[in-house]
Amino acid sequence: MSKTFHITTFGCQMNEHDSEVMAGMLLEKGFEPVKERRDADVAIINTCSVRENADKRFFGTLGQLKRRKKENPDFIVCVCGCMMQQQHVIDTIKAKYPWVDIIFGTHNIHQFPELVDNALNEKKKQVEIWPDGGEIVEGLPAKRLFDCKALVNIMFGCNNFCTYCIVPYTRGRERSRRPEEIIKEVRNLVSDGVKEIMLLGQNVNSYRGDEKTDFADLLYRLNEIDGLERIRFMTSHPKDLSDKLIQAFVDCDKLCKNIHLPVQSGSSRILKRMNRKYTKDAYLELVAKLKAAVPGITMSTDIIVGFPGETEEDFEETLDLVRKVRYDSAFTFLYSIRKGTPAEKYEEQVAEDVKHERFNRLVDLINSISAEKNAQYTGRIERVLVEGASKTNSKTLSGRTDGFKLVNFEGTKDMIGNLIDVEITEGKTFSLEGRLRK
Ligand code: SAH
Ligand code: SF4
Ligand code: F3S
């Protein structure tokens, strides 16, 4: 009987992709995936540390596994991901959850199969953390979540050290993959049926594949790949979004007309304290350039509310910026203190009730703009890459437009994985409703 596994993933697409790689490696070893964690021989928890509630959810999940481990000592528990790159987390696990079998970090997932073997065969408990990434390991398999679209890492790590953020400490310094490796991977994906790729990096604008390949050059090269239909990327940092990249939006027909451009705050004073290296005006200028060069481009962003020292005036600058940019959607976060980051030491932490009150005002504004923008789609024909069927009604399909809008419509299962023209019948706050063209 083959062994079974289950992976729980917290966090961003980097983690999602790491989980796909771990699944790929286990499938190669003959393991089988199971839907429920309680049915698995090996349970893997891939953690995120970006905000405190992510940490809390992880320890909650570990607590749940304790009983299962007691009932069946052969059950293997592996924990990995960003939290494991922090010594205080490792110390807590060793002290409070000593029954965890394998602990490993973000830089050595390629060692995962070996660690599992050791745990299964020799009952060996292991903690294997690399403090920073070495050479990039190429050629690891991956089991994709979707058949028609794939996540592709182009770089690892982050050098920006925004003062609130843990990622540079958990993912190490920036390292770019060579363009040939990326192109080879994408060609293989396309021959496996992939139509859309999402290029991943914490700051794709600082990609340097070799002396003559920056991020825009990479896009031009990927745009040449036959059979590939759509290219997306995330995340790009406003501080080094080049004119050359804006031109790539104009020139590359496969590059989707959509950009996620995290602003974090609309106050130049707060942006400086966050170490973001741009001002409100510089950001607005950049947005104006993008909108002028790429008519109809859709935009999303990330915003942190209640960064230490944020005053009502600072927050109003954020509201003002949101009104000016008119984002299609935005992720909003309450500032969360992260151990080891510079902002942890900042005085003037904003009171919880003030943070929440500002957060609600911001979300109301963002949602009203999203609803207005989506309402304008009514009657339009949009090309949708159909991703799957709804869990509750198999006739309801969903997919994304070029501009990354989620569309629900009635169709048949054979449409999944294809690009299909859909007539938009209604724009809601978070999605569009549509119907097939007669
Ligand atoms: N590299 C990406 C973001 C990675 S983290 C970028 O630079 O945009 C995703 C988002 O989490 C960030 O954009 C930020 O808005 C949010 N975030 C990061 N640290 C946070 C913290 N300490 N508290 C609240 N939100 C945070
Ligand atoms: Fe974090 Fe800033 Fe790096 Fe993004 S760019 S991962 S927010 S340090
Ligand atoms: Fe979380 Fe790590 Fe991503 S901290 S957001 S999983 S890079």
Long-range contacts of 171-174 (CB under 8 A, 24+ apart): 171/14, 171/82, 171/85, 171/106, 171/133, 171/202, 172/106, 172/107, 172/131, 172/132, 172/133, 173/132, 173/133, 174/202, 174/203, 174/206
Determine the atom of ligand 2 nearest the C-alpha atom of 276: 2
Contact 271, 162 (CB under 8 A): no
Q: What is the mean pLDDT of residues 394-402?
A: 94
pLDDT band of residue 126 (cuts 50, 70, 90) is confident
Centroid of ligand 2 to alpha carbon of 168 (angstroms): 7
- Residue 321 pLDDT > 90, yes or no? yes
Considering only CA atoms, which residue is closest to atom 3 of ligand 3? 12
- DSSP annotation of 385 reads E
Centroid of ligand 3 to alpha carbon of 413 (angstroms): 34
Centroid of ligand 1 to alpha carbon of 165 (angstroms): 6
Residue located via tokens 């001002």:
279
Centroid of ligand 2 to alpha carbon of 227 (angstroms): 33
First to last CA, the chain: 50
- Residue 268 pLDDT > 90, yes or no? yes
Contact 32, 2 (CB under 8 A): yes
User: CA–CA separation, 264 vs 49, rounded Å?
Assistant: 18
Centroid of ligand 3 to alpha carbon of 268 (angstroms): 26
Centroid of ligand 3 to alpha carbon of 12 (angstroms): 5
Decide: 11 in ligand 3 pocket, CB within 6 A. yes
Q: What is the mean pLDDT of residues 286-297?
A: 97
DSSP β-bridge partners for residue 304: 333
pLDDT band of residue 404 (cuts 50, 70, 90) is very high
Over residues 133-164, the pLDDT tens digits come to: 778 899 899 999 899 999 999 999 999 999 99
pLDDT band of residue 38 (cuts 50, 70, 90) is confident
- Residue 310 pLDDT > 90, yes or no? yes
Considering only CA atoms, which residue is closest to atom 4 of ligand 2? 202
Count of other CB atoms within 10 angstroms of residue 277: 14
Which of 13, 50, 165, 344 to mutate to test ligand 2, by most ligand atoms within 8 A of the CB atom? 165
Interhelix angle 312-325/280-293, nearest 10 degrees: 10
- DSSP annotation of 255 reads B
- Residue 166 pLDDT > 90, yes or no? yes
Alpha-carbon Rg of the chain, whole angstroms?
22
- List the alpha helices (DSSP H) in 211-339: 215-223, 243-251, 268-273, 280-293, 312-325
Measured in degrees and rounded to the nearest 5, phi and psi for residue 358 equal -65, -40
pLDDT band of residue 122 (cuts 50, 70, 90) is confident
- Residue 193 pLDDT > 80, yes or no? yes
Ligand closest in space to the Cα of 275: 2
Determine the atom of ligand 1 nearest the C-alpha atom of 160: 7
Closest by CA to 271, choosing from 289, 283, 287, is: 283
Ligand closest in space to the Cα of 170: 3
Indicate the average pLDDT of the chain. 95
The pTM of this model reads 0.95
- Residue 124 pLDDT > 80, yes or no? no
Q: Return the pLDDT at 391.
A: 78
Considering only CA atoms, which residue is closest to atom 5 of ligand 2? 160
User: CA–CA separation, 406 vs 386, rounded Å?
Assistant: 10
User: CA–CA separation, 428 vs 430, rounded Å?
Assistant: 6
Q: Return the pLDDT at 133.
A: 78
Decide: 83 in ligand 3 pocket, CB within 6 A. no
Considering only CA atoms, which residue is closest to atom 7 of ligand 3? 167
Q: Return the pLDDT at 213.
A: 97
Centroid of ligand 2 to alpha carbon of 235 (angstroms): 9
Centroid of ligand 3 to alpha carbon of 122 (angstroms): 32
